[in-house]
């Protein structure tokens, strides 16, 4: 197979080693006479696999105790609703920082459930910069503060996080979990749909602090309660076993690469290669996000007009560089360079960008 340089935004590239390992264990798992997908989710091998996946994720982020990992369905989007369902009780307000399309969706979902408020927004700047959070204060009625750590569609990323004191800070880390070292304990809960940095679609990892777990609303349906998932080690009902297994392989791969510190080093280098290609083009490529806010996971840029952007995406695709069209809400081009995207892919893209600029500039 001639593997493409895959810049898809999600589902996204997986390491070839992970795919090969999954293939090798696909038909029979652990000499059980069947595949993992055919086993009861109450069987020992599945229980152990789920347990190990939780442990691995906590080890990789470096918070081995005080938090649980829940494996849930419905994608990151389900969390937009589950978070307020669990914590937006009578008299409480969910406070939202808007920094892009997905954060706005999280806010809109909360509004269907309870009182939700925008505390800062970058919308007036067309998401080209992140709003200033330095002067924010949160009232006692605040149930939580929600923030999207990396804005997948627009290509911006928070470098610092607000200090919310005793108020739970919640992070949607779908597109940058495990991509850089941060103080994860700033967050009372963070979640990530798997299909960007953690594996294939089908499962969402929810990392949640013990005290927050205990405070969840017990009057909502059990299947929506974080506490029920924790109590049953994510086996309250049948979980997406295969997706969790793929996440486990992905996490083992991350460990084998040197962990988050090494992945961050690569990601900064990869992003640096692309932003250099943009900035050195003399305006032929224009970054969509202002420099201090640029993401190391999703690089976005525009060109002179839409026709040229279409031409770029088409020629890139023909050259084996796929998934570069920008999101329909933003336009332009976007290269998603999650953990599994190798440096070599970014070098190939930068080379193509230079070549395209010479031919069309
Ligand atoms: C992709 C993405 C989502 C949506 O994920 P689904 O699993 O499709 O629901 C939400 N938030 C962020 C930051 C994302 O990148």
DSSP state of 7: -
Pocket test for ligand 1, best of 8, 9, 10, 199 (most atoms within 8 A of CB): 10
Locate CATH 3.40.640.10 in the chain. Answer: 17-256
Largest Cα–Cα separation, the chain: 63
CB 75 less than 6 A from any atom of ligand 1: yes
The CATH class for the domain spanning 259-360 reads alpha beta
Ligand 1 atom with least separation from CA of 79: 9
β-pair partners for 193: 204
Burial class (CB within 10 angstroms; exposed 0-12, middle 13-18, buried 19+) of 234 = buried
Q: Tell me, what's the pLDDT at 1? A: 82
Over residues 2-28, the pLDDT tens digits come to 899 999 999 999 999 999 999 999 999
The alpha carbon of 219 and the centre of ligand 1 are apart by a number of angstroms equal to 27
CB 175 less than 6 A from any atom of ligand 1: yes
The alpha carbon of 69 and the centre of ligand 1 are apart by a number of angstroms equal to 18
Pocket test for ligand 1, best of 78, 152, 177, 247 (most atoms within 8 A of CB): 152
The alpha carbon of 10 and the centre of ligand 1 are apart by a number of angstroms equal to 8
CB 10 less than 6 A from any atom of ligand 1: yes
CB 174 less than 6 A from any atom of ligand 1: yes
CB 102 less than 6 A from any atom of ligand 1: yes
The mean pLDDT value for 79-100 works out to 97
The alpha carbon of 77 and the centre of ligand 1 are apart by a number of angstroms equal to 6
Does residue 93 sit in helix, strand or coil?
Answer: strand
Torsion angle in degrees (nearest 10) through CA of 230, 59, 204, 157? 130
Q: Tell me, what's the pLDDT at 107? A: 98
Q: Tell me, what's the pLDDT at 119? A: 97
The alpha carbon of 130 and the centre of ligand 1 are apart by a number of angstroms equal to 19
The alpha carbon of 26 and the centre of ligand 1 are apart by a number of angstroms equal to 27
Selection from 278, 289, 285 nearest residue 360 by Cα: 285
Tokens of 267: 């990601």
Q: Tell me, what's the pLDDT at 361? A: 85
Q: Tell me, what's the pLDDT at 64? A: 79
CATH topology of domain 17-256: 3.40.640
CB 9 less than 6 A from any atom of ligand 1: no
For 33, 46, 57, 250, the CA distances from 36, given in Å and listed in that order, are: 10, 7, 20, 16
How many whole angstroms separate alpha carbon 14 and alpha carbon 18?
Answer: 7
CB 74 less than 6 A from any atom of ligand 1: no
The alpha carbon of 305 and the centre of ligand 1 are apart by a number of angstroms equal to 28
Interacting residues of 290 by C-beta distance below 8 A, sequence separation 6+: 128, 129
Measured by CA distance, the residue closest to atom 3 of ligand 1 is 76
Give the chain's mean pLDDT. Answer: 97
Q: Tell me, what's the pLDDT at 141? A: 97
Locate CATH 3.90.1150.10 in the chain. Answer: 259-360
Selection from 131, 149, 239, 247 nearest residue 189 by Cα: 149
The mean pLDDT value for 132-154 works out to 96
Over residues 24-71, the pLDDT tens digits come to 999 999 889 999 999 999 999 999 999 999 999 999 999 979 999 999
Per-residue pLDDT band at 269 (split at 50, 70, 90): very high
Over residues 188-247, the pLDDT tens digits come to 999 999 999 999 999 999 999 999 999 999 999 999 999 999 999 999 999 999 999 999
How many whole angstroms separate alpha carbon 139 and alpha carbon 155?
Answer: 31
How many whole angstroms separate alpha carbon 160 and alpha carbon 20?
Answer: 37
Tokens of 170: 């919640």
β-pair partners for 204: 72, 193
| DSSP class per residue in 102-157 | HHHHHHHHHHTTSEEEEEEE-GGGTTSSPPP-TT----TTEEEEEEESEETTTTEE
For 44, 185, 192, 214, the CA distances from 208, given in Å and listed in that order, are: 25, 10, 12, 10
The alpha carbon of 187 and the centre of ligand 1 are apart by a number of angstroms equal to 18
The mean pLDDT value for 129-154 works out to 96
Neighbours of 113 (CB within 10 A): 18
Tokens of 298: 């999703």
The mean pLDDT value for 306-329 works out to 96
Measured by CA distance, the residue closest to atom 14 of ligand 1 is 174
């Amino acid at each position: 197979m001639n593997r493409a340089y895959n810049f898809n935004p999600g589902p996204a590239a997986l390491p070839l080693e992970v795919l090969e390992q999954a293939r090798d264990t696909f038909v029979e798992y652990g000499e059980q006479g069947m595949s993992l997908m055919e086993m009861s989710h109450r069987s020992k091998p599945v229980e152990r696999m789920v347990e190990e996946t939780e442990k691995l994720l906590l080890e990789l982020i470096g918070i081995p105790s005080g938090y649980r990992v829940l494996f849930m369905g419905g994608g990151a989007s389900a969390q937009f609703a589950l978070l307020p369902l669990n914590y937006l009780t009578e008299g409480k307000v969910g406070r939202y920082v808007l920094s892009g399309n997905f954060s706005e969706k999280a806010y809109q979902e909360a509004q269907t459930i309870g009182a939700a408020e925008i505390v800062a927004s970058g919308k007036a700047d067309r998401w080209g910069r992140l709003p200033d959070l330095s002067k924010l204060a949160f009232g006692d009625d605040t149930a939580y503060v929600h923030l999207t750590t990396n804005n997948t569609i627009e290509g911006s990323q928070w470098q610092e996080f607000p200090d919310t004191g005793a108020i739970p800070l919640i992070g949607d880390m779908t597109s940058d979990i495990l991509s850089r070292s941060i103080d994860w304990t700033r967050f009372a809960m963070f979640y990530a749909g798997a299909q960007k940095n953690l594996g294939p679609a089908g499962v969402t990892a929810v990392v949640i602090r013990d005290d927050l777990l205990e405070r969840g609303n017990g009057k909502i349906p059990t299947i929506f309660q974080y506490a029920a998932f924790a109590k049953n080690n994510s086996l309250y009902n049948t979980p997406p076993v295969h997706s969790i297994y793929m996440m486990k392989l992905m996490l083992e791969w991350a460990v084998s690469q040197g962990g988050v510190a090494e992945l961050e080093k690569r990601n900064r280098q990869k992003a640096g290669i692309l932003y250099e290609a943009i900035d050195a083009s003399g305006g032929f490529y224009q970054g969509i996000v202002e420099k201090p806010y640029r993401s190391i996971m999703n690089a976005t840029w525009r060109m002179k007009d839409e026709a040229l952007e279409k031409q770029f995406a088409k020629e890139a695709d023909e050259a084996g560089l796929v998934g570069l069209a920008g999101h329909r809400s933003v336009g332009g081009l976007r290269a998603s360079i999650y953990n599994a995207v190798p440096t070599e892919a970014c070098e190939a893209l930068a080379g193509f960008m230079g070549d395209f600029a010479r031919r069309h500039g």
